[in-house]
Amino acid sequence: MATTMENSSSNNDTIVAIATPIVPQLGGVSIVRISGENAREIANEIFKPTGKRKDCFQSHVVLHGTIVNNNDGEVIDEVLLLPMLKPRSYTAEDVVEIHTHGGSVCAARVLDACLRTNACRLARNGEFTMRAFLNGRLDLSQAEAVHSLIRAETDEAAVQALKTLRGGLSNDVKEARRRMIDVLAELEARLDFDDEMVPLDVDKIAKEVDEAKEVALSALKTSQKNASLSVGCTLAIVGRPNAGKSRLLNRWTKSERSIVTDVEGTTRDVVEAAVNVSGVKVTLLDTAGIRGGSSRSSSNSSNSNGSSGSDDSNKEEETEIIDKVEAVGIERSKIAARGADLCAFVLDASRGWERADETVWREALDVAKNVIFVANKMDDITENASLIEEMKSDPSGKMKPFLTNQLRVPEYVLDKCNLNNVVFLSAKEGFGIEDLESKVSNAFESGLSSVEGDAYFVSSRQSEALKHAVEAMERVKESALNDLPVDFWTIDLREAAVALGEVTGEDVSEDILGTIFERFCIGK
Amino acid sequence: MMMSSSISSSTTQKHQQHTTRLLSSSLSSSSSSSSSGGFRRRLFLSDGSRRRKTNNNITTTLKASYPSSSVSSSSFVDTSDAENYDVIVVGAGHAGCEAALASARVGARTLLLTLSLDKIAWQPCNPAIGGPAKSQVVHEIDALGGSMGKIADKTYLQKRVLNSSRGPAVWALRAQTDKWEYSNAMREEVESNERVFIREGMVTELMVNSNDECVGVETHFGMQFHSKAVVLTTGTFMNGKIWVGRKTIDAGRAGEGSSVGLTEHLINLGFETDRLKTGTPARVDARTIDYTKCEEQKGDEDAKFFSFDPRNHLVIPQMSCYLTRTTLKTHEIIRQNLHETPTYGGWASSKGPRYCPSIEDKIVKFAEKESHQIFLEPEGRKAPEIYVQGFSTGLPERLQLELLRTLPGLENATMMRPAYAVEYDYLPAHQCTRDLQTKKIANLFFSGQINGTTGYEEAAGQGLVAGANAAAKALGTKPLILEREGSYLGTLIDDLVTKDLREPYRMLTSRSEYRLALRSDNADARLTPIGKECNLIDDERFKMFEDKRDTIENELARLKKFRLKESSPLVAAALEQSKNLGAGGKQSFTLEELLRRPGVTYDKFVEYKRDAGIDEIPRPLTKWEAECVEIRVKFAGFIQRQKVQIDRDLSKHGKEIPSEIDYKDIPMRLEAREKLEKVRPSTIGQASRVGGVTPADINSLLIHMEVLHREKEKAP
The pLDDT of residue B343: 79
Contact A507 B691 (CB under 8 A): yes
Tell me: pLDDT of A507 over 60.
yes
Q: Is residue B213 part of a domain?
A: no
Q: Is B439 exposed, middle or buried (0-12, 13-18, 19+ CB in 10 A)?
A: middle
Distance from CA of A14 to the nearest CA of B (A): 12
Answer for the pair A245, A238: CB distance below 8 angstroms, yes or no.
yes
Nearest-CB residue to A523 (from B170, B357, B697):
B357
Nearest-CB residue to B162 (from A195, A487, A517):
A195
Shortest CA distance from A10: residue in chain B? B652
The pLDDT of residue A264: 52
Tell me: pLDDT of A137 over 90.
no
3-state helix, strand, coil in chain B (%, to 5): 45, 15, 40
The pLDDT of residue B157: 97
CB < 8 Å from B in window 218-277 of A: none
B701 and B667 share one domain: yes
B632 and B667 share one domain: no
Nearest-CB residue to B695 (from A124, A134, A143):
A124
More confident residue, B681 or A141: B681
B568 and B637 share one domain: yes
Tell me: pLDDT of A196 over 50.
yes
Residues of A in contact with B419 (CB under 8 A): none
CATH code where residue B554 lies: 1.10.10.1800
Going by C-beta distance under 8 Å and a sequence separation of 6 or more, which residues neighbour residue B557? none
Domain boundary among B78, B94, B129: B78
Residues A315-336 have a mean pLDDT of: 54
Residues of A in contact with B699 (CB under 8 A): 124, 126-127, 130, 150
Nearest-CB residue to B167 (from A130, A488, A513):
A488
Residues of A in contact with B170 (CB under 8 A): 191, 487
Tell me: pLDDT of A4 over 60.
no
Contact B694 A11 (CB under 8 A): no
* A187 CB within 8 Å of a chain B CB: no
Residues of B in contact with A487 (CB under 8 A): 163, 166-167, 169-170
The pLDDT of residue B133: 93
Distance from CA of A42 to the nearest CA of B (A): 19
The pLDDT of residue B32: 38
Q: What average pLDDT values come out for chain B (716 residues) when binned by 10 residues?
A: 37 41 38 40 38 41 36 44 88 98 97 95 94 96 98 96 90 96 97 96 95 95 95 94 90 89 94 91 96 96 93 94 95 93 75 78 87 94 94 92 96 95 92 95 97 96 98 97 94 93 87 90 97 96 96 96 90 83 79 91 92 90 94 92 82 84 84 88 89 79 85 76
Distance from CA of B331 to the nearest CA of A (A): 15
Q: Is B327 exposed, middle or buried (0-12, 13-18, 19+ CB in 10 A)?
A: middle
Tell me: pLDDT of A46 over 80.
yes
Distance from CA of B247 to the nearest CA of A (A): 23
B605 and B684 share one domain: no
Q: Is residue B245 part of a domain?
A: no
The pLDDT of residue A415: 81
B59 and B11 share one domain: yes
The pLDDT of residue B666: 84
Q: Is residue B383 part of a domain?
A: no
Q: How far apart are CA B325 and CA B306, in angstroms?
A: 31
* A196 CB within 8 Å of a chain B CB: yes
Tell me: pLDDT of A296 over 90.
no
* A511 CB within 8 Å of a chain B CB: no
Tell me: pLDDT of A3 over 70.
no
* B582 CB within 8 Å of a chain A CB: no
Distance from CA of A478 to the nearest CA of B (A): 12
Nearest-CB residue to B667 (from A151, A188, A513):
A151
Q: Is the dihedral of CA B25, B26, B29, B30 positive or negative?
A: positive
* Mean pLDDT comparison of A10-19, A260-269, B371-380, B679-688, highest-scoring range: B371-380
Q: Is residue B48 part of a domain?
A: yes
Domain boundary among B582, B614, B643: B643
Tell me: pLDDT of A214 over 70.
yes
Closest Cα to residue B360, out of B318, B428, B419?
B419
Please write the tens of the pLDDT for every residue from A157-166. Answer: 544 544 444 4
Domain boundary among B78, B108, B128: B78
Answer for the pair B262, B203: CB distance below 8 angstroms, yes or no.
yes
In the sheet that holds B172-177, the strands lie side by side as B128-130, B172-177, B156-162
How many residues are given for chain A? 524
Count of domains observed in chain B: 3
* A192 CB within 8 Å of a chain B CB: yes
* A523 CB within 8 Å of a chain B CB: yes
| Domain A230-445: assigned CATH number | 3.40.50.300
Q: Is residue B513 part of a domain?
A: no
Answer for the pair A402, A391: CB distance below 8 angstroms, yes or no.
yes
| Domain topology for A15-159 | Gyrase A; domain 2 (3.30.1360)
* B439 CB within 8 Å of a chain A CB: no
Nearest-CB residue to B699 (from A130, A488, A505):
A130
Nearest-CB residue to B510 (from A10, A133, A188):
A188
Domain residue ranges of chain A, discontinuous segments joined by +: 15-159, 164-228+452-519, 230-445
Distance from CA of A208 to the nearest CA of B (A): 19
Contact B667 A509 (CB under 8 A): no
Backbone angles phi and psi of B549, in degrees to 5: -60, -45
In order, the DSSP letters of B121-183 are: T---S--EEE-TTHHHHHHHHHHTT-SHHHHHHHHEEEEEEETTTS-GGG-EEEEEE-HHHHH
Tell me: pLDDT of A109 over 70.
yes
CB < 8 Å from A in window 145-164 of B: 162-163
Residues A330-346 have a mean pLDDT of: 74
Domain A164-228+452-519 in CATH 1.10.260.40? The answer is no
Q: How far apart are CA A162 and CA B698, in angstroms?
A: 23
Number of other residues whose CB lies within 10 A of the CB of residue B433: 21
The pLDDT of residue B21: 38
B43 and B70 share one domain: yes
Please write the tens of the pLDDT for every residue from A340-386. Answer: 778 888 999 888 898 888 888 887 776 666 788 999 988 887 777 77
Number of helices followed by number of strands (H, E) in chain B: 25, 23
**ipTM, two decimals:** 0.75
Nearest-CB residue to B638 (from A486, A488, A516):
A488
B624 and B664 share one domain: no
Q: Is residue B156 part of a domain?
A: no
For residue A2, name the pLDDT band (cuts at 50, 70, 90): very low
The pLDDT of residue B161: 95
B692 and B626 share one domain: no
Q: Is residue B659 part of a domain?
A: yes
B665 and B626 share one domain: no
Peptide bond into A83 cis (omega under 30): no
Q: How far apart are CA A167 and CA A162, in angstroms?
A: 9
Contact A491 B642 (CB under 8 A): yes
Instruction: State the amino acid at position B432 in one-letter form.
Output: C
Contact A521 B362 (CB under 8 A): yes
B630 and B666 share one domain: no
Structural domain of B568: 539-643
B632 and B701 share one domain: no
Contact A133 B684 (CB under 8 A): no
The pLDDT of residue A191: 85
Shortest CA distance from A6: residue in chain B? B651
Instruction: State the amino acid at position A193 in one-letter form.
Output: F
The pLDDT of residue A444: 64
* B695 CB within 8 Å of a chain A CB: yes
Q: How far apart are CA B482 and CA B477, in angstroms?
A: 16
Q: Is residue B639 part of a domain?
A: yes
* B706 CB within 8 Å of a chain A CB: yes
CATH code where residue B665 lies: 1.10.150.570
Please write the tens of the pLDDT for every residue from A57-75. Answer: 888 888 888 898 777 777 8
